Amino acid sequence: MLKLIKNGEVFSPDFLGKKDVLLAAGKIAHIADNIDVSTNFAPVEVIDATGKYVVPGFIDSHVHILGGGGEGGYKTRTPEIRLTDITTAGVTTVVGCLGTDGITRSMKSLLAKARGLEEEGVSTFIYTGSYQVPVRTITGTIEDDLILIDKIIGVGEIAMSDHRSSQPTVQDFAKIAGAARVGGILSGKAGVVNLHLGDGKRMLNFLEEIINTTEIPYSQFVPTHIGRNKDLFEKGIEYARKGGYVDFTTSTTKEFLEEGEVKCSKALKILLQSGVSPKNITFTSDGQGSLPLFDEKGNLKGLTVGSCSSLFPEVRDAHFQESIDLSTALRTITSNPADILKLSSKGYIREGRDADIVLLDKKDLYIDSVIALGKTMVRNGEILVKGTFI
């Protein structure tokens, strides 16, 4: 069946103005000022997008789809994600990862979960590994995982500068990056290393050292949680100004923000004012990850769970509260992750790309409808497609 989205204002994420968008066979088939499809030609569903913005489906490139945590004992292992946790957030592509626990949660389970979500209707990719070094892969090596397993697009999330890391040396990180680079080159994938940055004092030092002393470029690394404290944020600005990618975590708590975490929408504003390329900045939700609160002695004080639903509100806040144009704000969860992670069919409203589309209400940017691979998952805020277990 064809779908025709009529009379919406399209952000590709660049603003294209009022356009009609034709979807066919899960792809964006045509974009033009006015498209009419004869019903004699094929059945066509017309979606009236008057008063709506038509934007690319969101990419959430750091989600603990299998659940995460366990940092307060077994009962604090967080639950697996469900399809509708993803789709109701406007997300049509997720990149799944393990976290602190790479022991009771395995890469094989992560791969199966990613495949399950894809069967239910969204697009999925995964990183190989967890916080731990040496990296536990599926096949035995990072290169083999990247080259032989389609869904694996990089390594991560490896913990750096954190009390929960394996305390790897700078050489350990360089070797991981080297393996990811070669695996990426040979498979035509990004082969990035997704790095979890903790609250430690070393911050981005290891990364700077690898980039300064080896041939591995900035583009090999996607460090995340860069807004978690003011010092790391300052370092992140310097790092990004030199060409590095920086990723910000939208799931947070009142306590984290009070303790100095930089809100994503504000971080975006400051980075742009500091001259960082808008193409180097991404937001991810850390969905289903645990948000543990430790005291100064490292004891667990409390724990909540991250959510994909935190992703888009930061884009909305960036637009309304920080006066950032919608196109630039949208990049952080659409074209930027698509480009950085080399997801060549994602991230843009462009002919030939996957038909992943979100309709936003123009007035308050409320998520009205979500289309994943041409299928309407959410319509007028109502869930049309449920996952196997909702």
Residues that bind Zn ion (CB under 5 A): 196
CA 368, CA 109: separation in Å to the nearest integer? Answer: 33
CA 194, CA 159: separation in Å to the nearest integer? Answer: 9
Q: Minimum distance between the CB of residue 226 and Zn ion, rounded to whole angstroms? A: 11
Residues 274-307: b if buried by 16+ CB within 10 A, e if exposed:
eebebebbbbbbbbbbbbbbeeeeeeeeebbbbb
Q: Minimum distance between the CB of residue 181 and Zn ion, rounded to whole angstroms? A: 22
Q: Which is nearer to Zn ion, 196 or 346 (CB)?
A: 196
Q: Which is nearer to Zn ion, 80 or 143 (CB)?
A: 80
Q: Which is nearer to Zn ion, 156 or 184 (CB)?
A: 156
Tell me how many degrees the CA angle 364-368-370 measures, rounded to the nearest 5: 135
Q: Which is nearer to Zn ion, 251 or 327 (CB)?
A: 251
Point out the residue whose Cβ comes nearest to Zn ion. Answer: 196
Catalytic: 317? no
Q: Say if residues 110 and 66 touch (Cβ distance below 8 Å).
A: yes
Residues 222-236: b if buried by 16+ CB within 10 A, e if exposed:
bbbbbbbbeebbebb
Q: Which is nearer to Zn ion, 30 or 136 (CB)?
A: 136
Q: Minimum distance between the CB of residue 160 and Zn ion, rounded to whole angstroms? A: 10
Q: Minimum distance between the CB of residue 225 and Zn ion, rounded to whole angstroms? A: 6
Q: Collapsing DSSP states into helix, strand and coil, what is residue 263?
A: coil
Taking each helix axis from N to C end, the angle separating 264-273 and 311-320, rounded to the nearest 10 degrees, works out to 50
Q: Which is nearer to Zn ion, 88 or 161 (CB)?
A: 161
Q: Minimum distance between the CB of residue 275 and Zn ion, rounded to whole angstroms? A: 27
Q: Minimum distance between the CB of residue 285 and Zn ion, rounded to whole angstroms? A: 11
Residues across the chain = 390
CA 56, CA 277: separation in Å to the nearest integer? Answer: 20
Which of these is catalytic: 85, 247, 286, 368? 286
Q: Which is nearer to Zn ion, 59 or 359 (CB)?
A: 59
Q: Minimum distance between the CB of residue 200 and Zn ion, rounded to whole angstroms? A: 13
From first CA to last CA, the distance across the chain in angstroms is: 25
What Cα–Cα distance (Å) separates residue 82 from each residue in 14, 89, 113, 239, 297?
Answer: 31, 12, 10, 35, 35
Query: How many Cα atoms within 13 Å fall on the side-chain side of residue 99?
Result: 26
Can you say whether residue 161 is alpha, beta or left, with left for phi > 0 and alpha for psi between -120 and 50 degrees? left
Q: Say if residues 380 and 66 touch (Cβ distance below 8 Å).
A: no
Q: What residue type is assigned to position 123 of the chain?
A: S
Catalytically annotated residues: 286
